[in-house]
Structure formats: C-alpha cells, structure tokens
Chains A and B, each alone.
Chain A
C-alpha cells in the first residue's frame, strides 16, 4: 500500500520536473552537446567544405597558445579581484547596515539601485565618467590633491583591469549586501544575545560566532558569484569597443566570442567554451564539497 503511494508520489515528482527537463534538452543540452562535437573539428564558420575531424587538436593548440593563457590570466585576475572585493565589501556593509536599527531597507535599496540599470546604460555612463576629461579624473584629482593628472582609466593596462572590477563591484555590491543581510537575519536572535551575555566584544562576536554561522550563505553566494564573474562579458566587450587595450581584459568569454565571430574558427571557440564550462563545473563542485564537510546547523 505504502509503496503504491510512493510510486504515485514519484510519478508526481516526474510530472513537476519533466517540462523543465524537456525544455532544457532542447535549449541547453542539445546546443552544448553540439558545441562539444564542434570542438573536435577544424571548422571555419563560413566554409562550405565539410569540416575536418581532428580529435583534440583544438584543445592541444589552445594549451600551447600564449593568447589562451593570457585569457586565463585575465579571467583569473578579474574573477579574484571582483569576487574578493565583493565578498569583503558585502560582508562589511551588511554588518554595518545590520547593526543599525533604522533605515535598513533604505540602505539596502539604495545600494542595490545600480544593479537596476542595464549593462548598456551602465557602460554608457561609465565610459563618459572614465573619459580623460570626465568625472573620474576630476574626482580623483580633487581627492588626491593632484592637478590635471590623467589616471588613464582605460589606457593603462592595470587601470583598465581595475576599472572593469570597479564597474562590476558598483553593480553587484548591493546584491551581495542584501544576500548577506538575509543570511544575518536568519541567524536566531538568541545566538546574538548569548554572545553578548558571554561578554564577547562586538568584533570578537562577529568573527567567532556570526561569521561561522554565516558560512553557508557565504559559500552559496560564492558559488553563484564565481560563475557570474567567470561568465562576465559585456563590460569587457564594451571597454575594448571603446578603445581600451585588449590583452589585460581579454577574458575567456570575450576571446571565445572573437574567435568565433571575428575569426570564424568555431571549432577552436567551442573548445574554449567547453574548457570554460568544465572549469565552472569543477569550481562549483569543489566549493560545495568543501563547504558540506563543515555544515553548520542550529536547532
């Protein structure tokens, strides 16, 4: 009898899941399998000749190519830079906001507001701000007390990296803060209280008690944002379009796009995207694995 109910429930489970699975098979799995197949060919997008099957030649050539490793480096720098600044900034801001009694919602909303702008709009604004005659130089000159110095927001390789990170930080800091505050709110109040009664100072309290409890939030946010950062495309794309040197911000997605669209080498581009895809899976898996071993729970 029970197994009958179980069976029925299992059928319902499939009923709920099936539409999405069918959808994904058509719009995600089929294309990605297609991309994997393509990556084994030497394939010029425009050529009418049948593409040549070359096994893993595309992958081998990528690993030997300087440009590919430069892209890996650019992606790594961007991801680490954005990711760590968002994490630290988000945590700090969430604690600051959480410790206040009033205006919590206001601060969260205000910080989130840049995320509301679309990328094209954000890029339009920032390109004007970072223009040599723009607001960026004016403000920095005023703050640092220099006069007429050009900080070369796009021009200098290091600065262009920093600029992309700043834009990303600006855009997503609000979201991170909201997530961390949500995490903080879900920690039972009694635990905070217990800490205070124990006489723990505020900083000690955060590091010893709050932070470990926040860890699941941090891990999940990390996984999601890491994926987001590694897939970042449009900011770098718009930078290069408006004259910034390419090499320092030639992230993998940009390189994939150009290899396919500009160079017509769809085989190699697919190989790159499969590598990116596998890396993303590996990272997320590793992060989730690492976190699971020390999962916190509070009853």
Chain B
C-alpha cells in the first residue's frame, strides 16, 4: 500500500466524518427546534407567537408571562402547590417502583420456585393492559378505599410497574452468581443479600428505570384528572390544561407555564444523564 493511497483513504474517511457530522447536526437541529420555540415564544406577546415568518428572538421580553403563569389567572399561586404535588407523586412512585422492580426482578431472575413461569407470564401480560381498559374499575376501587382527592389516590395505582420488573429481571439475569454465593458464605440471609449486595450493584439500571418512571408519572394526565378534585391536589398537566382553557391566558404565558413544568425534568435528566445512558444497556437485551 503506497503512502498516497493511504492519504487518499484518510481524506475519504475525514470527508465521510464531515458528512456524518452534518447529518447529525441537521437531525439535532430539527429535534431541538420545538424546544427553542417553546423557550423563545414564552417571552413573546401572543400576537408575536404566530407571526409569519417566525421571529426567533422576541422583539421585547415579556417577563410578565412567567409571572402570570406562576400566579395563575386567579392570583392564588396554585401552580407552586401543583408542582409540589407532581414532585411528591413522581418521586414516591419512582422510589417504590425501583425497589419493587428490583425485588421482584431479583426473585424472578435468581430463584427457582414453583409457578415462576406463570408469574413471569402474568407480569408480561400486565404490561399489555391499556390503561383506558381498567380506568373505570380502578376508579371504583380507589373510591372504595376512600382515596379520592388524596396522594394515596394519585400514587397507589402506580406503585409497582410490570415494565420495571421485566427490565430489572433482564438486568439481574446477568448478575454474577459468585457475588451472591460469597455473601451467602458470609452468612447473610437472602434479604440482606438483596439489600447489601444486589441494590448497590444495580444503581445504574435502577437510575435508568427511575428516570423513565419519573417521566411517565410527570406526564400522567388522565388519572389525576379523575381522582383529584381540589385545586390543591391537582398536578402540573392538569394545571396546564386548565390554564389553556381559561379565557385570560395568552400563548406566551401558556408556554411560560410549559417551560416551568419542564425545568425539574431537565434538571433530573441532565444531572443523571450519565447513569441513564450507562444503565440503558439493561434495556438493550443483549444480556438476556
């Protein structure tokens, strides 16, 4: 192979890399445009949001959009409380989900017992249930427990999630048996093994699962709509829907509310992104 040949190959490669980079950047731009739109338009007057062609930089910054979003049209600051509710619900559900998913997944991955296959099939089947299907029976149930308009009502139906169990099982299948055996020889019982050995070694996987759970709870709309009645118990999506339908809301303030709603998620995600990306290998299935 002559040197010239090599150089040609190198230029070809770098050319290819440039093309790849360009494609990536274009895709990235397309993906990010709506986010940029949300952010810039949240400072605009409603008239400006729908001007053609769109002005990427607001002609003047209307900070009062944010004030309006936080105060609400009734000046009662329910949004702060609703954000708090969303946080309480999402964090609780995320924690219980991770713990139960790890526990059940551990049971399914590392123990042999009668009926295990049936349990696995049941867990899989639970994943397929469309929420709309069980909405009304579930509502009656929650009502019978007296959980209307309470954190219990918002949290209980989502305490354990089949998807999480399935994922943690996939992950724990590859958990080194030696580690468990070593702990057994040290005299730990199975529960302590789970707490002291399995959990600390599953943090990335649980983080990944946690982010997904947090996200879907943050998103949840239909169920909170049914179980909450008082403004104090409502969650962010309900506030935004309400804010949208109110007559005094302008588009800028609406987007300001949307930006506020997104901030906690961005914080959670970006601070844990490393774990999330690491832990996603759990979901890749190659380990199963």
Contacts and interface: CB of A to CB of B under 8 A. Distances in A.
B32 A256 contact: no
A47 to B, nearest CB: 14
A234 B141 CA distance: 24
Contact of A119 (B54, B137, B219): B219
B139 to A, nearest CB: 9
Contacts of A109: 269-270, 273, 277
A76 to B, nearest CB: 16
Interface residues of B, number: 96
B283 A179 contact: yes
A72 interface: no
A39 to B, nearest CB: 10
A124 B104 contact: no
B261 interface: yes
Contact of A35 (B123, B127, B137): B137
Given A13-B113, A105-B273, A270-B133, A125 B284 contact: no
Given A17-B108, A109-B273, A126-B34, A120 B241 contact: yes
Contact of A99 (B20, B116, B131, B237): B20
A122 B133 CA distance: 25
A273 B137 CA distance: 13
Interface string A111-137: 111111111111011101101011101
Contact of B50 (A20, A45, A133): A133
A233 B107 contact: no
A99 B17 CA distance: 9
B49 A227 contact: no
A82 to B, nearest CB: 16
A35 B131 CA distance: 11
A116 B255 CA distance: 15
Contacts of A45: 136
B28 A9 contact: no
A211 B174 CA distance: 22
B270 to A, nearest CB: 7
Interface string A267-289: 00010011011001100100000
B158 to A, nearest CB: 9
A8 to B, nearest CB: 9
Contacts of A178: 276-277, 280
Given A10-B111, A217-B286, A284-B128, A24 B37 contact: no
B227 interface: no
Contacts of A117: 35, 38, 258, 262, 265
B98 interface: no
Contact of B112 (A10, A21, A179, A233): A10
Interface of A: 6, 9-17, 19-21, 23-24, 26-32, 34-35, 45, 93, 96-97, 99-100, 105, 107-122, 124-126, 128-129, 131, 133-135, 137-139, 142, 170, 173-174, 178-183, 185-187, 213, 216-217, 219-221, 224, 227, 231, 233-234, 253, 256-257, 260, 266, 270, 273-274, 276-277, 280-281, 284
5 contacts: A121-B262, A133-B50, A182-B284, A260-B136, A284-B128
Interface of B: 17, 20-21, 23-24, 27-28, 30-35, 37-38, 41, 49-54, 100, 103-104, 106-108, 110-114, 116, 119, 122-134, 136-138, 141, 156-157, 159-160, 162-163, 165, 170, 190-191, 194, 215, 218-219, 221-222, 236-237, 240-241, 244, 251, 254-255, 258, 261-262, 265-266, 269-270, 273-274, 276-277, 280-288
Given A117-B262, A119-B237, 9 more contacts: A17-B113, A27-B156, A31-B137, A111-B28, A114-B34, A182-B281, A220-B283, A220-B284, A281-B125
